[in-house]
């Protein structure tokens, strides 16, 4: 998590590391840092080099970037978001430091209903 600047994924960078959820617009929030840390800890055995992960409700894009970082930049992360403007915002945020990973397809963001996963990129680790 320390490798991904949370300030690039929130609307108020000066508050980026407050340990509370924060609004990212569109009636959505970015999870508190402790929640992201817990998710990454639980998934750490799966987020290895060459893995493929699905982030349902990718919101700001932060978790997608953190997952790829944990994979040593040698995996693939698919983010799916049902709010198209928020998916656009995720791409914008990710491109601040991970533009090459977006261009290469190591991170891909799609608009859709995450409750159904994203079959076109399956299977996931």
The 3-state DSSP class for residue 70 equals: helix
Q: Under DSSP, is residue 37 helix (H, G, I), strand (E, B) or coil?
A: helix
104 among known catalytic residues: no
Backbone angles phi, psi at 79, to 5 degrees: -110, 135
Q: DSSP string spanning 15-32?
A: GTTSSS-EEEETTEEEPP
Task: For the chain, list the strands marked E by DSSP.
Answer: 22-25, 28-30, 52-56, 76-81, 107-111
Q: Which of 31, 60, 65, 108 is catalytic?
A: 31
Q: Active-site residue numbers?
A: 31
């Amino acid at each position: 998590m320390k490798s991904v600047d949370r300030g690039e994924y929130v609307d108020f960078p000066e508050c980026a590391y407050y340990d509370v959820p924060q609004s990212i617009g569109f009636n959505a929030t970015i999870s508190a840092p402790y929640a992201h840390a817990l998710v990454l800890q639980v998934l750490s055995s799966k987020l290895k080099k060459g893995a493929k992960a699905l982030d349902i409700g990718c919101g700001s894009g932060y978790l997608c970037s953190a997952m790829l970082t944990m994979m040593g930049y040698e995996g693939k992360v698919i983010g799916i978001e049902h709010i198209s403007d928020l998916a656009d915002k995720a791409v914008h945020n990710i491109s601040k430091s991970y533009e090459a990973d977006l261009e290469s397809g190591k991170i891909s963001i799609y608009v859709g209903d995450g409750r159904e996963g994203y079959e076109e990129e399956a299977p996931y680790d």
